[in-house]
Chains A and B, each alone.
Chain A
Amino acid sequence: MSAAVSSAAQRVAIVGAAECDLGVTDKSILTLQSQAVTRALADAGLTLAEVDGIATNNISRFSATQLADYLGVVPTWTDSTFSGGSAFEMYLARATQAIQARQASVVVISFASNQRSARSRKLGGVHEPWIPEAQFEEPYDMLYPLSYYAMAAQRYLHRYGGTREQLAEVAIAAREWALLNPKAFRYGKGSLSVSDVVDSTMISSPLTAGDCCLVTDGGGAVVVTSMERARDLAKKPVEVLGYGERTTNTSFTAVADLSVPGARGAVQDAYARAGITAADVDVVEVYDSFTITAALSLEALGFCAEGEALSYIQDGRIRPGGELPFNTNGGGLSYCHPGQYGILLMVEAVRQLRGEGGARQVKDAEIAVAHGTGGILSTHATVVLGVDR
């Protein structure tokens, strides 16, 4: 299984990574996209003229086409797969394959959102009227996506006997990391206590505002090319070692057990392609849309057994200095959450593997995992990244 990715002539690497402006920008999506793309190319030491592959979404119905037009690029390969926050990990898998197949040589994967400035985020009512969910789910006024994660949390706590106080550690740890990241939305805002999380405004039980990710502008981009070319470029290449994905549901009712997400299959495939196990991973970036998402992802990634995530994360294990460096930029909970956070997982993983993490740098990080989740635990995509060896 690993041959496709690792055969010497076919190795693929991320060579550039950057954020666009974050937080409250008062800028348009295409300005933020332009920032992300040009900054990531500059980071790589490449120019727009060298780009022949584009993967993005969230711009318009024709997102990759729109961005290509806007940038003045005529790509030989594009992808606008829409799968929410895991899309960017999927794009990296497809970009790797496109480069191996020689359909593209330099691919830019990008995302930007101005959802906070534009006040474009809604609590519910997101379904097209012609899909079954509009007739059979939306009339019950569940919050989307929040109520699904809330019901997953309720199910998980019931099944395994955990507490909301234990779950709050995900948000507390994320804040500790954010305090080390000057770009984090909550940088300088102080530590969180258990009470800060569990006693904040209840939104959709058992999840409070403190269990929910931020709503900010932001985004980023990564530049992908062959390892052969990567070695001539500005920065230390970060190799794509493996990837995997699962797509499980759009509806609130399709999955039999909400405490068993499709993430597990995605992770197993990614580890198998990379030839690694959880024990080999030095730094972990997961989409923490809600505290429960991070807990479920930790189990799927194999760092602890099913039902043990909440006891596993106690005693500072995922805080700075802890045994498992986890969401080292502060995550969607305390750093930045522009809607489809998956691109920023990869930006941070690249920085950690290059040793560019500053105050939050994980010592000797050689293998990183980025794991995105989209929709309502709908899509799950994992990538394994490593330093060039």
Chain B
Amino acid sequence: MNAGPMNAETAGTAWVPGTVPAADENSAPFWDATRERRFTVQSCTDCGAVQHPPKALCTSCGSMEHLTQVDASGAGVVDTFTVVHRAPRPELSVPYTVARVRLDEGPVVLTRLEPAEPGERGWQIGDAVTLDWVDLKDGRSLPYHRSAATH
């Protein structure tokens, strides 16, 4: 096991993400908004469905003509999580926590929870979380989540 130090809990720069691939034509509006640390989800102006990640079509009504990125809080609750103790790339410090968060806006996102193991209680399913950001070298930012109780 990699016995690296717990990541510093300095706001927003908790860890160094790996390479995030360039946006494509569907995800560009999402990633552009992250340059201003704005979290958005894709909404269909025809049927009203909300989805994430962004796609070329609305999976509720099939429209390819009515999709737009709309601002979202990014807040939600922990659906489930796992504390990872063996890293898939050498630059990572372990342990760290990966979670599914059900956003208030509806979609489920994969995210990281910081700090990795808060206090003796640890993370619990159902915990309320809010959005935070870590900056990428290319000017985009990557969203992740922190406890709503301590943020």
Contacts and interface: CB of A to CB of B under 8 A. Distances in A.
Interface of A: 122-125, 129-130, 132, 134-144, 147, 150-152, 154-155, 158, 201-207, 251-253, 256, 258
Nearest to A155: B80
Contacts of A138: 18
Contacts of A158: 80, 125
B72 interface: no
Contact of B88 (A124, A137, A252, A253): A124
A154 B125 contact: yes
Nearest to B26: A132
B88 A154 contact: no
B1 interface: yes
Contacts of B23: 135
B110 A134 contact: no
Nearest to A258: B80
A158 B100 CA distance: 14
Given A124-B89, A151-B100, A154-B81, A135 B110 contact: no
Given A132-B27, A155-B79, A253-B108, A139 B20 contact: yes
19 contacts: A125-B88, A135-B23, A135-B53, A139-B20, A141-B17, A142-B82, A142-B98, A143-B86, A150-B82, A151-B80, A151-B81, A155-B125, A202-B83, A203-B84, A203-B85, A205-B85, A253-B108, A253-B109, A256-B108
B128 interface: no
Nearest to B20: A139
Contacts of A151: 80-82, 98-100
A125 B111 CA distance: 16
B98 to A, nearest CB: 5
Interface of B: 1, 17-18, 20-21, 23-24, 27, 31, 52-53, 55, 79-89, 92, 96, 98-100, 107-112, 125, 142, 144
A60 to B, nearest CB: 25
Given A139-B18, A141-B92, A143-B88, A204 B142 contact: no
B142 A139 contact: yes
B88 A122 contact: yes
B80 A141 contact: no
Nearest to A257: B79
Given A201-B85, A253-B109, A132 B55 contact: yes
A152 B80 CA distance: 8
B29 to A, nearest CB: 13
A138 B108 CA distance: 15
Contacts of B92: 141
Contacts of B81: 151, 154
A144 B125 CA distance: 21
Nearest to A254: B108
A155 B80 CA distance: 6
A202 B53 contact: no
A204 B85 contact: yes
B126 to A, nearest CB: 8
Given A132-B27, A140-B144, A155-B125, A147 B84 contact: yes
A138 to B, nearest CB: 7
Closest 6 CB pairs of A and B: A124-B88, A150-B82, A123-B88, A155-B80, A205-B83, A151-B80
A252 B100 CA distance: 8
A139 B82 contact: no
B124 to A, nearest CB: 8
B110 A140 contact: yes
Nearest to A203: B86
Contact of A142 (B79, B109, B110, B125): B110
B84 A142 contact: yes
Contact of B107 (A203, A206, A253): A253
Given A147-B84, A256-B108, 17 more contacts: A124-B88, A125-B89, A130-B21, A135-B53, A136-B53, A139-B18, A139-B142, A140-B144, A142-B82, A151-B99, A201-B85, A201-B86, A202-B85, A203-B84, A204-B83, A205-B82, A207-B82
Contacts of A203: 84-86
